[in-house]
Every structure is written in C-alpha cells, then in structure tokens.
Amino acid sequence: MSEAPPPPYRWFDLHVLRTERVSPSLVRVTFGGDHLGEMVTGGRDQRFKLFLPRPGQDAPVLPDDLGVGWYAQWRVQDPAVRAVMRSYTVRELRHDPHELDVDFVQHGRPGEGTGHSGPASEWSRTARPGDRVAILGPTAEENGGVDFQPPAGTDWVLVTADESALPAAAGILGWLPAGTPAKVFLEVAHPDDVTDLPTAADADITWLIRGPGAAPTLDAVRAARLPAGTPYAWIAGESGTVRALRRHLVGDRGFDRRAVTFTGYWRRGATEEDLLAELG
C-alpha cells in the first residue's frame, strides 16, 4: 500500500476551468477539482509543484506510488513520458466555489517576452477547459512552502521580482500588514504587464520595463534611496539577477545576509530539469 505524502501536502487531480490572457506576458489558468476544497494556502509566495501532460497525453503520467518516495520514482520514469514537473505560485485560491488561479509567464514567444519557450509556458498558452493536470499542494497554512518570512524587528521590506515572481509579489503585497513600509521593484517585459496590486502596506512600487542591455532591477536598486531602519529583503526572478542583487544588498548596502531571502525562479539557458539535475 502506498504511504501518503508528508503532511501537510496532498496530490490533487485538477482540470482547467478557464484561461485568461491577463497581460502580454501572463496567462491566468483557473483550475477546479473534486478535492480542491482541502487545499490551503499560507499566502505570500506560496509555491507548489505542478505536473503537466506531454503533448499527445490526456493526463500527466505520475509515478505508481504517490507516497513519500514519489520523487525518486518520478526521476527514474522515462523522461519522454513522465509528467513535466514545474514550480508555480498560488496566485489566488478561492473556496466558494473551489478555484485555483495560476499565472504563467509566456516566455520565448516572438514579441511576447524574453528567453526560450518551455513545456509549461507552451501548455498554458494552449490550455483548454477540461485539460487535466496534477499538483502536489498544501493542506495547512504552515507548510514550508512560503519563503517570505520577515524576522521580528523588521522595520521595512524590500521586494524585487520579474514577471515569473509577480504572482508571489502580489501575494506578499496582499499579505503585508497595514502601514508596513515596502520598497518594491517589479520588472516586466511590456508596459501593459503593469497592473494594480492591492495592498494595505505603505508600498512604494517601481515598475521597470525590460529592454535590451543591463538588468533594470539591479540598476534601479543600486540607484535607490532606501529607508532607514532594519530591512528584510525578498528577491526572486532570473537566477543571475537574483544573485547580483543579493551581492549588492549584502556586500554594498550592509544587509544582514540572514535577512535576505533570495530564490532563482528560472535560469537563462536552463530548463527546470537542468536545475533539478544539478541538485543531484
């Protein structure tokens, strides 16, 4: 008999309810499913694992045993057949009715964003109502899948994100307590990707439109006047940019390295399988 995955996570069979092009770079896919009522989000940058079918399959091919050893089994499945596994963020989870929104960057399409395309981006572009996926998602608010964790004593927060981390930045802004000072730098490919992000925080949001040449977020943060007091930084987006930002904050600005949460959401020239393979 298969053991359950470690709590507080479970597998969900989901299907597409509808899709919406929310901006030039982002497609929002809304999922439904029988047990979605059991999914719970910790808010902020809540991540989960998404499993997609490959072209020609009508459902993702998952390991036979979905217990605690599922990952080792997924790795030895035929890479041409097994489900495409990717990391995504809860954009919104609603429970009346039970619906999950996920925003997918449309990368690598001519005139629609940077980089190369990939199976998840392509899947979202052509997703239709009824299309089946699976996710490994949280069932309790405290679930280890939320990285935005400002320590006690934080006076203000710094958030930087590109469009892949825009759902997470939106979640963080929606979660921040009223009046929290926040400096926010959001980098997108297209002026029409700029959107309203509701927040009760005292947020100073700078939108940066990426062009050819230097990474605009790094230049903007380098040039910024930052508030006084104890900062907490959350940085996500392309790995090289994220590393450079962290170096700047810790090395040049004197941020305590323990108060900088940094996550490469993707790396130029590498697929998510390449990144997992490096982890061994």
Residues that bind ligand FAD (CB under 6 A): 47, 86-89, 103-105, 107-108, 114-116, 118-121, 164, 167, 263, 265-272
Give me the amino acid identity at 186. Answer: L
Residue 196 contacts by C-beta under 8 Å, 6 or more apart in sequence?
A: none
CB-CB contact of 106 with 121 (8 Å)? yes
Tokens of 201: 């925080």
CB nearer to ligand FAD: pick between 156 and 172: 172
Which of 189, 249 has the CB closer to ligand FAD? 189
Q: Quick one: tokens of 244?
A: 């450079």
What's the one-letter identity of residue 105?
Answer: V
CB atoms within 10 A of CB 192: 12
Kind and range of the H or E run holding 9: strand 9-23
Nearer to ligand FAD, 108 or 227 (CB): 108
CB 50 within 8 A of CB 12: no
Query: Which residue is at the shortest CB distance from ligand FAD?
Result: 118
Of residues 25 and 156, the one with the C-beta less far from ligand FAD? 25
Length of the chain: 280
- Of the pair 156, 266, the CB lying nearest ligand FAD is at 266
Least Å from the CB of residue 59 to ligand FAD: 18
Amino acid code (one letter) for 122: E
CA distances from 4 to 9, 32, 137, 231 (A): 9, 22, 13, 40
**Alpha-carbon span 163 to 188, nearest angstrom:** 5
Smaller CB distance to ligand FAD: residue 41 or 121? 121
Provide the greatest CA pair distance for the chain.
58
- Among residues 10, 15, 31, 45, the alpha carbon closest in space to that of 139 is found at 10
For residue 66, the tally of other CB atoms under 10 A from its CB is 18
CB of 156 or CB of 163, closer to ligand FAD: 163
CA–CA gap between residue 278 and residue 76 (Å, rounded): 16
31 vs 156, beta carbon nearer ligand FAD: 31
